[in-house]
Amino acid sequence: MNTETVLAHIVTKVTEILKTVVSQTEASGPPPTLYDWEEQTQAVLPRIGQVLLQELVSAQGAGLMGPERPGACGDQQRYHDQRRRLSVQTSVGIIRLAQRAWYSCPTCRLTRYPHDEQVGLGQAGRMSRYMQEQGGWLLALLPGRLAQQTLCRFGWPAVPASQIREHGEALGADLEEEFQTRLALARHEAAREQGTPLPLRQAPAGERLYAAPDGVMYCTTERDHETGKVRWRERKRGSRL
């Protein structure tokens, strides 16, 4: 990636966006208030972010790695072409991957896109991982329809509630699988250090004793000599299991 070239493209496009916004605001009737400027700023931020994200992703190239690349099955994946485009929904709008080198394996028939792997798309498909996480976080707090309205209220793309629910649940499944994998690895490492497999729960070495202390306040017939009020006392209790 040529940093100077990418930066020049970003600055040129962002400058045009800002010029348009400022000229439109100045041409509209009475002088704008702080509220007007802030509203315009929030509306233009996603457009600037979309330019930045699009240029950075495009600068990564098409993911071409030669005529062949190693496959998961042990055979070589073969290069075909770069004509398979992809549009990805992100938190700042849609970005388009115009060129994506794709490889397929003649043995296992799997198709892979190195460019998708490079930019971290993985199995995210047409919605970025970051967008999935934000939707999943809202879905954990709000119903799908209200989560969709919340995203729109704060200037995020209008994503259907069904997609928010679908991607949020898929993200939860991915996180659960990752957690289980890490847990299994930790158990394997612990068992290897001790030389013998560890059971999920250790049996108690001897008799266990449980104590449950508690207390209760009760009213007496005594009276305080200074205030004349009835005195309250606490009776402490305990049980053993």
**Which of 170, 186, 202 finishes a domain?**
186
The answer as to whether 239 is a domain residue is no
Who's near 168: CB < 8 A, 6+ residues apart? Answer: 132, 135, 136, 138, 139, 140
| CB-CB contact of 44 with 82 (8 Å) | no
The answer as to whether 43 is a domain residue is yes
Count: domains in the chain: 3
**Residue range 106-143, pLDDT digits in tens:** 888 888 888 888 877 765 567 888 888 888 888 778 88
Mean pLDDT in residue range 131-156: 82
Shared domain for 55 and 65, answered yes or no, is no
pLDDT(235) > 90: no
Shared domain for 141 and 158, answered yes or no, is yes
The answer as to whether 50 is a domain residue is yes
pLDDT at position 201 is: 66
**Residue range 195-216, pLDDT digits in tens:** 666 566 666 667 777 788 888 8
Shared domain for 174 and 140, answered yes or no, is yes
Shared domain for 83 and 52, answered yes or no, is no
Who's near 55: CB < 8 A, 6+ residues apart? Answer: 6, 9, 10, 13
Which residues form the domain of 24? 1-59
The answer as to whether 238 is a domain residue is no
Shared domain for 20 and 43, answered yes or no, is yes
More confident residue, 124 or 39: 39
- In percent, the amount of the chain with pLDDT more than 90 equals 10
Shared domain for 119 and 143, answered yes or no, is no
The answer as to whether 234 is a domain residue is no
Q: Residue 20: count other Cβ atoms within 10 Å of its Cβ.
A: 12
**Distances in whole angstroms, Cα of residue 16 to Cα of each of 12, 13, 139, 181, 202:** 6, 5, 37, 48, 67
Question: pTM (2 decimals)?
Answer: 0.61
**Which of 80, 101, 124 finishes a domain?**
124
Shared domain for 24 and 55, answered yes or no, is yes
**Which of 27, 42, 59 finishes a domain?**
59
CA gap 91, 134 in Å, rounded: 9
**Residue range 45-88, pLDDT digits in tens:** 999 999 999 999 888 888 888 888 888 788 888 888 888 888 88
pLDDT at position 16 is: 92
Identify the CA nearest to 57 among candidates 20, 103, 93.
Answer: 93
The answer as to whether 207 is a domain residue is no
Alpha helices in the chain (DSSP H): 3-27, 34-58, 114-118, 129-141, 144-153, 161-194
Shared domain for 86 and 38, answered yes or no, is no
The neighbouring-strand residues paired with 127 are: 89
* Residue 31, helix vs strand vs coil: coil
CA gap 174, 167 in Å, rounded: 10
| Radius of gyration (C-alpha) of the chain in whole angstroms | 31
The answer as to whether 91 is a domain residue is yes
- Chain centroid offset of residue 9 CA: 29
- In percent, the amount of the chain with pLDDT more than 70 equals 91
The answer as to whether 77 is a domain residue is yes
Shared domain for 79 and 107, answered yes or no, is yes
At 161, list the tokens.
């509630």
Shared domain for 68 and 28, answered yes or no, is no
